[in-house]
Amino acid sequence: MINKHQFKADFYEKLPHKPYCSDDLGRGVVIRPKKTAILMPYIQHNSPCFISSLVFDVDRSDAFFACFDANLPQPNWIAKNRANGHAHVGYMLAAPVCTTHRAKQNIIEYAAKIEQAYSLALGADRGYTGLISKNPCHNAWETHIFDVQPYDLGYLADFVELTELKTDLKDVSGLGRNCMMFDTVRFWAYKAIRAHLAVGFEKWHLEVLEQAKNANGAFLEPLPYSEVKATAKSVARWVWRNHAEAHAKFIERQISKGRLGGLKSDSSHGGKARSQQYSDMRQEAVKLHIQGVNNTQIAELLKVNRRTIIRWLQGVTVQA
């Protein structure tokens, strides 16, 4: 077993400067300096800006054996309730995952997929917010410290099959909420940016923040406000700086959705199906033309000849 004093020092170092903590969750949580919080049986293990540990809430009497039954790597720690056997299982990360506006979204999504897969393998509580855990440095719990180093995400991923993140609101949890909120807000922003360019960045930022708050409010267990602000700031800044590219992404997404709809439809009627397909494409060309996209761009997006686009748009005028 790893030296417990070394583990406690490492765990303490990764804590937020002022974590949420509690001696009784029924009475709520308080914010305290970490030298005080570490004395509480419940503590916030990740900072608002970084995910340094993936922690899972396993609510069954044999929770201690969950990771071994699922053929997962040994966790860094398990803090078990002596009365009912329920436990929190913690995997420390060698490189914390940033969740601020400076974060790389693909890394967050990768970590979220790993978290989702481990949660399913462990049979963990999908409603667990991940904010507060049993403090493995407190003697209120039966704590087991394992002789393993913090893990790379890639190593953790080798033990599970990663799948697309859940999109049903009742199933979305943990880092999956960050990814879903990010996608919801950015897709709205791609479409909305042109209508907001005249109002200035500050008002645009506030509009994006409202969208992020609305998206967060749909979760059964909302994210902390600090993470909502980080997502809004990230989306607002990127889309404002790259509004032309953002609008192109919106158009590309609309076309992709149209094609997906076409694939799902019944195309067994030969000429009629092809006729309907071209009719839909002509309508899409008109929409893009009205939105200010030039003929060459429309031809590239729809994968048709530019002369065809010119022919389709004959007689179509754009109101000033």
The residue written with tokens 């039966």 in the block is 142
pTM for this model (two decimals): 0.65
pLDDT of residue 190: 85
Are 96 and 211 within one domain? no
Residue ending a domain, among 207, 235, 263, is 235
Are 117 and 190 within one domain? no
Are 11 and 109 within one domain? yes
- The pLDDT averaged over each successive group of 10 residues in the chain (320 residues) is 80 92 91 95 90 95 94 96 96 88 78 92 87 94 94 94 76 76 86 83 91 84 83 88 70 61 51 55 74 76 78 63
Residue 167 counted as domain residue: no
d(CA 264, CA 173): 30
Are 186 and 127 within one domain? no
The residue written with tokens 């909120």 in the block is 181
Q: Which amino acid does the sequence have at 224? A: P
Residue 213 counted as domain residue: yes
Are 99 and 8 within one domain? yes
CA nearest to 112, candidates 72, 63, 166: 166
To the nearest 10°, the Cα dihedral for 144, 45, 60, 27?
120
d(CA 224, CA 37): 19
What are the φ/ψ torsions at residue 174 (nearest 5 degrees)?
Answer: 55, -140
pLDDT of residue 109: 87
Residue 292 counted as domain residue: yes
Per the structure, the complete domain to which residue 268 belongs is given by 245-312
pLDDT of residue 239: 86
Are 128 and 49 within one domain? yes
